[in-house]
Structure 1
Amino acid sequence: MPQKKLPRLRGMDNVREDEELEQFGDSASLFVRDAININFTSAGRAELRQEMKLATDQALRCLWQSPLHKDCFAALGSYWCKVDAETWQIEQLIECGPGDVFHIVLNNMICMACDEGLFVYDGSQAKRLTIDTPAKPNATDAGDGSLPASDYSLAISWVANGLESALSEIDQVSLSKNSSINLQFPMCLDPNVSHVRVYMTEPGGGELQQAIELNIATRSVMIANLPELGRAAQFQYLSPMKTGNFLREWRGRLWAVRSNVLYFSEAMSYHLTDERYNFIQFPQRIRFIEPVDGGIWVGLADHVAFLRGQDVRSMSIERKASRAPMYGSSTLLHSDMIKELSQGGTWCAVWLAENGFVSGTAEGQLVELQYKSIKGISAESCQLVGFADRLVSVVN
């Protein structure tokens, strides 16, 4: 039987015709139609992939390793857990619901988005990032006092872990003579809240300013004299930041996805958002988001878009000629790892599409890395991870 010496192997190819799989010339090479449990090296050799073994019989989902301290986190049942990757022992942190969980590093803490909301883990305990907006307080004329006769507006906010909630609805009271105001606070059910902050206007004024800060155990306060008013209220008309899929941090804001809407928080106030303006709506369901230096890559049902700009109020949406991406298939990759790019060491977005891996640069350029050799990939969802010097996609 005649023997044939195989040239350098270049990987899989289901696009070319059979006759084109073997390349002749000074740098002869060979593509294969399919490869199962095989790795191709940069030298053109084929190596048998190492066998897989079961690490744990627990049904962990959304397993993620923190780049900060290399701790692992996952969801098990309806609980968010910390996972010991050596022994696979589980430490339950907090209830997260039955859905997927998404992680990022935020201010040297782990931030997680789930069905139950946004949470942070500081190494010792998990607690809610957002603070519920307090209900409207009740202000009444209490009689004897030294407050000048005039109209007053009052509102409150909760304070928890050094963060302040959005401002409550405003209650107004009119004093017909020198008097005092009795302000009753609504009930607070959040155990993390430690103080209540009172805002009020000057007599007949319109700007709310900080007046008093009291322990949360206080049920009401009597304001008989005009207190020394401080800074103006910062968080009026805001709401707690929304939870969602594909949690990311970019330009001092949290970003999260719900269906076809991309929500973002206030700048440097990750726990708050403005529901009137802080969102970008797309015509199709969002399949991934990846922020880079020049903007945000957004995967949609049949194409990819690039949100270009630094200011969220003036970002432009650019549609890119790309094949449909897989749901949840994106990650960030250093551009030095992709020979087709010369981006000076910046980070770029990478995702899996119908025609293989695709890269989105920091400047908004789209590079289809495998369009000449791969086609026909389809999946309902995908998980993309870096493993050694390779990208590994697990498709469902």
Structure 2
Amino acid sequence: MPLLRSWVDSANSASCPFPLNNLPCGVFSKDDRAPHCGVAIGYKVLDVTALEAFGLLRLGEIPLFDKPSYNALMASGPENWRKFREILVDLLLEGSKWALAVRPLLHDLADVRLHLPFQVVEYTDFYAGRHHAFNVGTMFRGPENALPPNWLHIPIGYNGRASSVVVSGTEVRRPWGQIKGPNDSEPKFAPSERFDIELELGAIVGLPSEYGRPVSVEQADAMIFGYVLLNDWSARDIQAWEYQPLGPFQAKATATTISPWIVMKAALEPFRVSTPEREVPLLSYLNEPRPLLYNIDLEVGLRPKDGGESVISRTNYREMYYSAPQQLAHHTTCGCSMRTGDLLGSGTISGPTKESRGSLLELSWGGREPIELQDGTIRTFIEDYDTLVLRGSSQGDGFTIGFGECIGTVTPALNDPYAS
């Protein structure tokens, strides 16, 4: 598919992350006004709530954009998702007769504040990247036992805290927790010293499933509304002490940062790719009916408080071993229902080289191999006031599909977390 040219001039640049081909969904506010639903087009945001109020966008008798969330559109189903994009393209396409009416509803992205684009009702994080799982397993168990026996058969995951999901730009406070080092006789309660990121993609469930009825991989793909960048902040020292036998708990509950724009699945269709060749056959219910991953270039930048940004990792979403529809289908096998607004984290997206590792745990190999930043300083894990920036994009024929930045700055731990 070539570039769809818009009368919004900035959307026609090959490097702009938000061309007419993209139309990602977000929630924004300006000045002291209430948040509205919007879509990014070029370096502008189009007020979708106002479009609906003025009768320029209708998807049924009941308003879908009168609340600052995309959950209502998500729940209305794929046919409305398609119509939504068709109407917006008609309004914004170069030569559109609607340009004069729509132009006053555009705002500069630089002048607005972005909010969570949907109400997160549940959150599940997976451990589904082959290279990440092998790297982490090698550090703790050696290469011969790096992958657990079940890993090549099943997408492993855990249920996280929906309340911990925050939008890009939200500061993340260094957590306290129980920590027991290898030479400690007893655990201590202290701030995490091995705070980390995980570079992930988040899949957002639009259509719910029925309690007691598992869904197929094909059905799961149809349920997904879109994708966001996702940073699953991780306190590795807290995790090391707590994770046996039930897995992550407080180490993963500090924050999960997502990008402010939902890239709808339709915008990613030209970039579908297959999951990697299987080392062992999957059970039939997990088989892919067609390619279900996407060719999305990803990178992580680190900005110290008083320094410039260093790109510390570059990888691609196609490195995942299990796709989001496979994860979603597996999630329903027990009969649990998925809800509109469910968020599924892909798991850390690492590639086969050191430069493509998606966490500082891997990049510094557990702290034993510090990485050097552009200003000459070194890192093993995140220091106070470091800002981490996740970016993702797919390159089309003369256009870019971007996610916007997923940013978080780590602030110091509380001096006394129980002080009144």
The TM-score range, normalised by the shorter chain, is under 0.3
Task: Give 1 or 2 for the bigger CA radius of gyration.
Answer: 1
The structure with more strand, counted as a fraction of residues:
1
Larger relative contact order, structure 1 or 2 (CA cutoff 8 Å, min sep 6): 2
TM-score if structure 1 supplies the norm length?
A: 0.22
The structure with more helix, counted as a fraction of residues:
2
